[in-house]
Amino acid sequence: QRWRVGLSVCYDLRFPELYRAHARAGADLLLVPSAFTHTTGQAHWEVLLRARAVENLAYVLAPAQGGVHANGRHTWGHSMLVDPWGSILAQRDQGAGVVAGELDAQRLSAVRAQLPALTHRVL
């Protein structure tokens, strides 16, 4: 299985058009390395990642910086892997570490067949 990857960073997560363009280009995996602030991360991080996965029927892998930094900035963390149905497959709240999970090509195909929304687009 070859995986087509769409790359974005942090604030891009708020612009679904970018991810739709990745989906139109055939992306199976969307990468979203980020450093959301604690405030916006707590409120929006998970829901936006899950939404990008669901609306584009793709896996989303989001490594995220977290903790309080030397300059006083507080970032949310919560690195995660989300599947194309919006299920969180792996997550690490804070601290150094690795979020690992499996990308399943058969699962991806099954979800896309079950909900063929990408082929139903009119715009």
pLDDT one-digit tens code per residue, 37-74: 999 999 999 999 999 999 999 999 999 999 999 999 99
- Helix 16-24 with 46-56: angle, nearest 10 deg: 30
**Is 123 a domain residue?**
no
> Does residue 9 fall inside a structural domain?
yes
What angle (nearest 5°) sits at the alpha carbon of residue 73, between those of residues 87 and 36?
A: 25
Examine residue 91 and state whether it is found in any structural domain, yes or no.
yes
Q: What is the CATH number of the domain that holds 57?
A: 3.60.110.10
Report yes or no on 72 lying in a domain: yes
Within-domain flag for 80: yes
- How many structural domains comprise the chain? 1
Torsion of CA 99, 51, 6, 12, to 10 degrees: -100
Lowest-pLDDT range, 10-19, 88-97, 106-115?
A: 88-97
Query: What contacts 87, CB < 8 A, 6 or more positions away?
Result: none
Domain region containing 58: 5-118
